[in-house]
Structure 1
């Protein structure tokens, strides 16, 4: 980094800490006093608020606007009451609206938060970090979320609770019953809980709060008011049992001769989920033969850089309370626990020989025999999470071609057999955190273990993998400032073959030809690595936010047995600063502008990258918005692009983006965006065009359509490597790369508990190569010195093979296959979901799918016609029924 860049960063950083923005005085905490119902009859949950029990407490009112004009009186006022008995918490809301005909009663799926709504947040642990959120829309749609880390909302939490709404001449009302088994709290005789309530007034896109907050609070849960008056509650030991059954029929195009593709398959599955309250604040979740069906399929994606693509977890057992086990230690997706490793696609291959007429039927996922989670938080501030899961051996079945004509022509016929493709595996994750310093600080730790019972042909897998980490966070000055960090350690064991494969993997690349600090050792049977992060910054108060920090991943760090790690051997420094504009003006409601900078190095000390970016967004007075930014990357080196070859330099890059959207409250809204990136000497470029529509013609029906088209040409896309006169030739080519995807979603709500949902996504990727070249000087600044283009005398193409006569002596020196390809995928799901009683559901599902290769010489329209519209999709029909016993 040159002197000017260093000065700029130091000046900006020091300037941040010298900023003394005007800050409002500390806002006092409000307190609401509830009472027990006693001998009175519990309220009937009908939304009418005419029960005698409501008269024993006063209304909590005086809500204050939070957005857009913080601290001012709201357009419409709201009132709240809370009472309780031994088993339930009861909440009543009165939401005033001068013209009840303007109440927006849009329907949506659970957790969709449509139209007008009101919400209660409860910090029953009273730890200032976590809480439970219950949202009631005027149309009767439920929303529920678990709050962690003082403001992260997780909608995967689906408790059992009850609510009704009613519209009258004063506005609308809501009545709620929350079983205390759905909350977690200590066993003190007198409880003190954190309390907050939010109302959305749809007409003005306005949020008002019961507990007032400043415009830029340093957190969410830590700023709650208090709920007092709860006395003498007995421990609530929850016991829920939820059996399920799934009947499934798959239909697909029959493949002649393949005994495993005869046109259809059927299967019946049964299983059980259970939730057991060990204490009133610690819960054990169990699952036996879990069903991990999902409404949305993974989106289509292709990665030409060779790295694994990260997909979000969608399986209910792992999604619920996933925040407890989260341990991110660096930038991006790196995490010590990535739950999709459990039940992963089998990693082994088979010996099926197509020349002998053999076909293989390989399972798509490993069977999870069972899993258990023990989690919760004690009154002393201990957060605890333990997850244990066992996946079964998986076998591929090898069978003969059943076509008599093919069988008669075989010289050797084998018997049907099974081959192991995934071993019996045990996964363990333990997580703990402890609050202290009046809940302004915490320290924590994590330990993970993966153990495989290896046999047969699976010694290329690691036998065991362990990781551990420590983390902390400290807040001060009313949580306006913070510092946090963590450190991790990994250790993997296996055969010499397994550890050599690990060393040579794209995550590590110990075989890099110009690396002086790493090398492949084929005799090793273990690797031990470290990683970590430290950050300090300002997170609340005033109008400025900033942080500065760094992270590292040592060359031997390996987490991918139960975690997610994209690349080891990396050291990164970063700095971010943002200015917030939260006071509305005549032309905007709120705005933000920010600056980001980071640099990266490897453990040999190579200075690989520096990045500068400025970005901003504005929410205008009419609720339209714009999001824009630009970046400059004067230095881009990578250790991975040549897959074990020398460190590679890309030409410096500039990029910009712009997204504009209309008011999302309207029946029809759209978002349009463009990203444009360009490297010097036309080394590479990236152009993305995105258009998203949303239309809700009436309250029960909503539709959205999102289309993305991108072009990503490059003159130096890696193709292959080969030997030439005892040296390695790294071959790249000019690629014309295009991607097109469209995602359609349709939701129809017959009522809040009966919905019809459709999801469909076609995805097309095409890559065509020309102008092949080989690497001369991988770190040369000039592109023409970096690579040498093959002349017409040096390269020729015939029968799908490129032949290279590099020294033009009339003899082919090496050859490589045609890298052109096209990938086509279509995924769709039609789901009818009926929650016939709270917590118990019936699903009717119809899924379709097409996956295959297209002709890269065709246009997109031809690929759509030939590879999508004219192909017979695979269909899956299933019926799933669950019943939740709440004992």
Structure 2
């Protein structure tokens, strides 16, 4: 342990060794204030554009980094501003306008499209920007970009239109100040980047040149100057909703009607309050359930919009797993021999939740999250007397997170994160705290990071755990490298509000990467990666595993993507988790894994993706074969379908079965898993679409022999095959959804959902019988309608002004509600 902390402090000290050089020169544009706003119709013929500042001289970013844009694709962007917001008018030449790619997608989707891209950074810190994209089909996409990582769950209210003409296409965009964050001062200086995607050639051009050989995307922002004396608007909006559900399950039909509201309030120019009142998540996507035989729980993706939008601060340090809030209850029930549990809820009810987040002009980000969940009970019945009782398994619970994140330099930060879970009464409470440093030198050639976390779980006793990590990366040039380590003590546990699986280990990892930075020969790009990982158990010390990995990725000039790799654990693995008991371990023989994959040209109507992967173990007859095949066909710019089939065949796999009185039973098993998915989209226009999502998951487990686990990690023969533990699991889900964005920020969704699953105590069942058994199970059939309407304080205020001013003067805020923008 002492040597580990020595390494940690060595990494911390090493951050001062980098040579600090001057910042990258920045491209600038000075824009003018206008008195009369342009009509947002895609036509750049308004008087407001006549004397506008012009941004031009775009430069290719991908694949030929640094090449000037050809005259045939000349791109000019006019930019102006007024009291309401900032306007962009982009003209993008195209030698063949009839071939402009304009596939329709749902909002926040980009398909086979040309598009125009805007990044605005009101604090000009080169780290976090607001991203606005409009495609040549008129579809809007917006996101928050932090150091090159996108959060597309963020939805803004802005206005755009496009026109395809004989010269190419134009995009006209208006972004209200209410959707931006900037300091309250008389003279503004914002970061700006713009890009144009030319899909036919697979090229992308940026206004401010970007050096792909080093650094992150955001450090190359240019600047907007000239914005003066604008007022931070009142940022207050509510989004009331009403939803209705018609549910049928196992022959019983129920109807429910819900209503609630989301609220956003700009506390000041930097900080925003988001609150959800009477939440309703009945239309979230289904989870992709699996048959889990591992020692750890399955970590599912978050599907609820409130918990995905604007969470970039709360994900610092990975201490927050939002599915804990309103997830499965933590409590348990002790049953007597005569009792049975009638129901065990899969989730608890969320009463309300809010979050406050923002960043000061000095670069300090502050985030606070709080949520409260309802009491949850189960019903227990005595099978002899038929009496029932209610048992509390989850009390009122309060969850909160506090984040402080100080940015400095072009791409560096230090962060403090604290999470807390408090349950009413004598239930389990928990706390976790993390401190993180992420430093990049000014030349953007090296990155250093370190982190230290502590966890405290208060139940009968207090259990405290520790995680520490540090690393050094070379992030520039053709040759890149990374060295890092991470350790977790045995009692590290953040599972009340985070997700932690493996503990009690120290891991050392090294990476060397060779990159092709410019197209060469028949290749557009190439990545060759060599990775070595060594992991040991901490208490008591024990070798766990050594992994050697090589993987590669290539893209040809015809945009055919392919690659492959090889991985091995040459001296085998001592698995300390599969026994489910501290101090024991299970020996797994060495494996040799090789794989190949390819994706055909994504610009074509037919796209095919395929993966073939084969594990071979140092044990006779043991191996895994994985095959993944996914064709996608675009019938038109409105209609496309995709199919995915994943097959995994595992022979003579060995793993935990159950606890015996004085030992642990392991089994040798064959496991076959097949996952079929089908997706289809028909998009009527850029505001209305129909989406189908289907998934069938099938997994069967067939045990051939049984063993007991020995203290030295070996298995001792216990008995021959029996059918007691064989399993067949099916999961079936269908979602058919119609969405209509009938006004800015306002949406109507009609959803039909069908789902069922089956868990059988046997395997090797034929196809027909398997599906007959599946559809004999109770099915969920649900039809739901949800309507939400976005109301902005400035728009509502303009309605009253308009009623007082029937002449309809186009001044200030009232213009936001005019037909020119809707």
Q: TM-score, normalised by structure 1?
A: 0.84
Alignment partner of 1:338 is 2:321:
yes
Contact 1:824/1:867, CA 8 A, preserved across alignment: no
Contact 1:186/1:379, CA 8 A, preserved across alignment: yes
Q: How far is the alpha carbon of 1:128 from its aligned partner?
A: 1.1
CA distance in 1, matches of 2:124, 2:23: 20
Among candidates 477, 489, 499, match of residue 564 of structure 1: 499
1:625-774 mapped onto 2 (5 Å cutoff) = 625-635=561-571, 636-644=573-581, 646-682=584-620, 684-723=622-661, 728-774=662-708
What does residue 159 of structure 1 align with?
Answer: 156
Alignment partner of 1:478 is 2:443:
yes
Please list the CA deviations of residues 205-224 of structure 1 after superposition, one character each: whole Å capped at 9, or x if unmatched. Answer: 11111111123340111111
Please list the CA deviations of residues 359-401 of structure 1 after superposition, one character each: whole Å capped at 9, or x if unmatched. Answer: 734443211111110001110111110001111112335689x
Alignment partner of 1:301 is 2:282:
no
Alignment partner of 1:392 is 2:369:
no
Contact 2:725/2:762, CA 8 A, preserved across alignment: no
Among candidates 264, 278, 283, match of residue 267 of structure 2: 278
CA distance in 2, matches of 1:474, 1:413: 65
Alignment partner of 1:424 is 2:396:
yes
Alignment partner of 1:243 is 2:178:
no
Q: How far is the alpha carbon of 1:351 from its aligned partner?
A: 7.6
Contact 2:341/2:378, CA 8 A, preserved across alignment: no
Contact 1:181/1:236, CA 8 A, preserved across alignment: yes
Q: How far is the alpha carbon of 1:687 from its aligned partner?
A: 1.4
What does residue 18 of structure 2 align with?
Answer: none
What does residue 7 of structure 1 align with?
Answer: none
Contact 1:824/1:853, CA 8 A, preserved across alignment: yes
What does residue 511 of structure 1 align with?
Answer: none
Among candidates 737, 740, 746, match of residue 840 of structure 1: 746
What does residue 423 of structure 2 align with?
Answer: 452
CA distance in 1, matches of 2:198, 2:22: 27
Contact 2:177/2:232, CA 8 A, preserved across alignment: no
Question: Partner of 2:342: helix, strand, or coil?
Answer: strand
Among candidates 851, 855, 866, match of residue 772 of structure 2: 866
What does residue 615 of structure 1 align with?
Answer: 551
What does residue 822 of structure 1 align with?
Answer: 728
CA distance in 1, matches of 2:771, 2:586: 40
What does residue 231 of structure 2 align with?
Answer: 234
Q: How far is the alpha carbon of 1:717 from its aligned partner?
A: 2.1
What does residue 808 of structure 1 align with?
Answer: none
CA distance in 2, matches of 1:867, 1:419: 33
In structure 2, relative to structure 1, the CA distance for the partners of 1:218 and 1:253 (3 Å cut) is: same
What does residue 88 of structure 1 align with?
Answer: 85
What does residue 99 of structure 1 align with?
Answer: 96
Among candidates 35, 44, 51, match of residue 49 of structure 1: 44
Contact 1:350/1:360, CA 8 A, preserved across alignment: no
Q: How far is the alpha carbon of 1:622 from its aligned partner?
A: 1.1
Q: How far is the alpha carbon of 1:711 from its aligned partner?
A: 1.3
Alignment partner of 1:530 is 2:466:
yes
In structure 2, relative to structure 1, the CA distance for the partners of 1:347 and 1:265 (3 Å cut) is: farther
In structure 2, relative to structure 1, the CA distance for the partners of 1:687 and 1:136 (3 Å cut) is: same
1:159-558 mapped onto 2 (5 Å cutoff) = 159-254=156-251, 263-328=252-317, 335-349=318-332, 360-397=342-379, 412-414=385-387, 418-436=390-408, 438-454=409-425, 461-462=427-428, 464-495=429-460, 525-540=461-476, 542-558=477-493
Question: Partner of 1:69: helix, strand, or coil?
Answer: coil
CA distance in 2, matches of 1:88, 1:860: 64
Q: How far is the alpha carbon of 1:788 from its aligned partner?
A: 3.2
What does residue 122 of structure 1 align with?
Answer: 120
Contact 1:611/1:633, CA 8 A, preserved across alignment: yes
CA distance in 2, matches of 1:832, 1:595: 46
Contact 1:295/1:831, CA 8 A, preserved across alignment: no
When structure 1 is superposed on structure 2, of 848-857 and 838-847 the one drifting more is 848-857
Contact 2:53/2:80, CA 8 A, preserved across alignment: no
Q: How far is the alpha carbon of 1:777 from its aligned partner?
A: 5.8
Please list the CA deviations of residues 383-421 of structure 1 after superposition, one character each: whole Å capped at 9, or x if unmatched. Answer: 110001111112335689xxxxxxxxx863436x54323
CA distance in 1, matches of 2:379, 2:704: 41
What does residue 507 of structure 1 align with?
Answer: none
Q: How far is the alpha carbon of 1:681 from its aligned partner?
A: 1.7
Please list the CA deviations of residues 77-118 of structure 1 after superposition, one character each: whole Å capped at 9, or x if unmatched. Answer: 211111111121111110110111011111011121121111
Alignment RMSD (CA, Å): 2.4
Q: How far is the alpha carbon of 1:50 from its aligned partner?
A: 0.7
CA distance in 2, matches of 1:103, 1:232: 40
What does residue 857 of structure 1 align with?
Answer: 763
Contact 1:651/1:683, CA 8 A, preserved across alignment: no
Q: How far is the alpha carbon of 1:854 from its aligned partner?
A: 3.4
CA distance in 2, matches of 1:608, 1:94: 59
Question: Partner of 1:56: helix, strand, or coil?
Answer: coil
In structure 2, relative to structure 1, the CA distance for the partners of 1:31 and 1:668 (3 Å cut) is: same
Question: Partner of 1:764: helix, strand, or coil?
Answer: strand
In structure 2, relative to structure 1, the CA distance for the partners of 1:413 and 1:483 (3 Å cut) is: closer
CA distance in 2, matches of 1:795, 1:762: 32
Contact 2:265/2:272, CA 8 A, preserved across alignment: yes
What does residue 135 of structure 1 align with?
Answer: 133
Please list the CA deviations of residues 790-828 of structure 1 after superposition, one character each: whole Å capped at 9, or x if unmatched. Answer: 4xxx6685xx6xxxxxxxxxxxxxxxxx11111110011
Contact 1:113/1:135, CA 8 A, preserved across alignment: no
Contact 1:296/1:759, CA 8 A, preserved across alignment: no
Please list the CA deviations of residues 479-535 of structure 1 after superposition, one character each: whole Å capped at 9, or x if unmatched. Answer: 22111111011111112xxxxxxxxxxxxxxxxxxxxxxxxxxxxx11111112101
The number of equivalent residue pairs is 770
In structure 2, relative to structure 1, the CA distance for the partners of 1:864 and 1:103 (3 Å cut) is: farther
In structure 2, relative to structure 1, the CA distance for the partners of 1:558 and 1:411 (3 Å cut) is: closer
Q: TM-score, normalised by structure 2?
A: 0.90
Question: Partner of 1:867: helix, strand, or coil?
Answer: helix
Question: Partner of 2:619: helix, strand, or coil?
Answer: helix
Unaligned runs of 5+ in 2: 1-10, 16-20, 794-822
Please list the CA deviations of residues 231-285 of structure 1 after superposition, one character each: whole Å capped at 9, or x if unmatched. Answer: 111123310111111111110223xxxxxxxx11222211111000001111011
CA distance in 1, matches of 2:485, 2:297: 24
What does residue 804 of structure 1 align with?
Answer: none
CA distance in 2, matches of 1:433, 1:102: 46
What does residue 504 of structure 1 align with?
Answer: none
In structure 2, relative to structure 1, the CA distance for the partners of 1:883 and 1:715 (3 Å cut) is: closer
CA distance in 2, matches of 1:777, 1:420: 39
CA distance in 2, matches of 1:390, 1:721: 37
CA distance in 2, matches of 1:230, 1:664: 41
CA distance in 2, matches of 1:796, 1:60: 74
What does residue 715 of structure 2 align with?
Answer: 787
Q: How far is the alpha carbon of 1:860 from its aligned partner?
A: 5.3
In structure 2, relative to structure 1, the CA distance for the partners of 1:764 and 1:796 (3 Å cut) is: closer
In structure 2, relative to structure 1, the CA distance for the partners of 1:663 and 1:295 (3 Å cut) is: farther
